[in-house]
Structure 1
């Protein structure tokens, strides 16, 4: 399965989600390739830190930009159980290429007005991509959500009401655990000490995307 983690707005938490998903799937025994398709190279930098800390990241990583995202991912697909693409936070050639080759795009949305507005632009790109990739699933998840507040409810309602989008019932909270894990070169599922709430959130997200039995 190929998942693109994408949003045209920066700061939505794409790299955090992509790296946490890659590690969770690798721990589950899947052969995982994480593709860094962002000019900033954050996923590749994280993987370098993880390899330095642990000796082995547990998954493969590749840097691909622009049109090569589509051509190279198509070549790599038979070699891996899962491919996760971390795409930069803007409308780019790499983002559009990823949408044409992915089985699903996961759009992280922060519960703020600016992020909600950019969500519609991202959905528009996904709909365009369906002209080439008609089976593309569009998944949306609320990310960095506050424990309480009306913003969460309003953002969730928008996701649910958007045609052609699967609004995931799970959400990820605004937790230090995600930042602390990244600083260790780890995921919330393999960091020490663990945050049970963060582990629960990520486990629910993995189940929503890949299925609880996989």
Structure 2
């Protein structure tokens, strides 16, 4: 399976989601590789820290690749059961070719007007990708959401996203929590901490992604 975590908006937690899904797979003894297409190399740096500081934790593999990543994605899918593509937050050659290669795509968005407005263009990219990859499944999701339950912005954003007829809306919300930042900095996954709320979020997303596996 090739899973793409991507979109046009930066700073929405794509690397956080990609690394945590990879860790969950690794803990299930699955072979998983991350293709890091982000110029910032967040996932690559995360994995370097993981390998150095925690060599006994379940293994995650990664490669860095820019430009046209279609052939690389297909090649990696023959070597690993699970390929996770961490694409940068912009319309790029990496994003477009990944959309043609992947089975499933998740588009993390903040519950803000600027983020929601980017969906118009990403929907056009999904339509374009489906001319070559008609089985592409695309999901929008709210990420880095406020934990203030009084605010209605999360629900309002989900309502707007649910009106899109090209991409489905994930049932999972990933909230802004310090433990996610700690995990990236430490080279670990959320399931390797004791934060129940964050672990539940990642597990719910994991189960949604792989419900038909």
Report SS of the residue matched to 1:97: helix
In structure 2, the residue matched to 1:130 is 130
CA distance in 2, matches of 1:120, 1:134: 19
In structure 2, the residue matched to 1:84 is 84
| Residues 46 and 186 in structure 2, CA contact (< 8 A), matched pair in contact too | no
In structure 1, the residue matched to 2:188 is 186
Give, in angstroms, the shift of residue 121 of structure 1.
1.9
In structure 2, the residue matched to 1:47 is 47
CA distance in 2, matches of 1:133, 1:9: 23
Where has structure 1 moved over 6 Å in runs of 4 or more? none
CA distance in 2, matches of 1:106, 1:123: 12
- For the aligned residue pairs, the C-alpha RMSD in angstroms reads 1.3
In structure 1, the residue matched to 2:117 is 117
In structure 1, the residue matched to 2:103 is 103
In structure 2, the residue matched to 1:73 is 73
CA distance in 1, matches of 2:72, 2:101: 10
User: Deviations along 1:107-147, whole A, 9 cap, x unmatched?
Assistant: 00110111111122222211210111010000111111113
Paired residue for 1:165, among 164, 167, 190? 167
- Any stretches of 5+ residues in structure 1 without a counterpart? none
| Residues 109 and 119 in structure 1, CA contact (< 8 A), matched pair in contact too | no
Report SS of the residue matched to 2:191: coil
- Any stretches of 5+ residues in structure 2 without a counterpart? none
CA distance in 1, matches of 2:122, 2:158: 16
Give, in angstroms, the shift of residue 184 of structure 1.
1.2
CA distance in 1, matches of 2:76, 2:170: 28
Please give the TM-score of this superposition, normalised by the length of structure 2. 0.94
Q: How many pairs does the alignment contain?
A: 210
Please give the TM-score of this superposition, normalised by the length of structure 1. 0.94
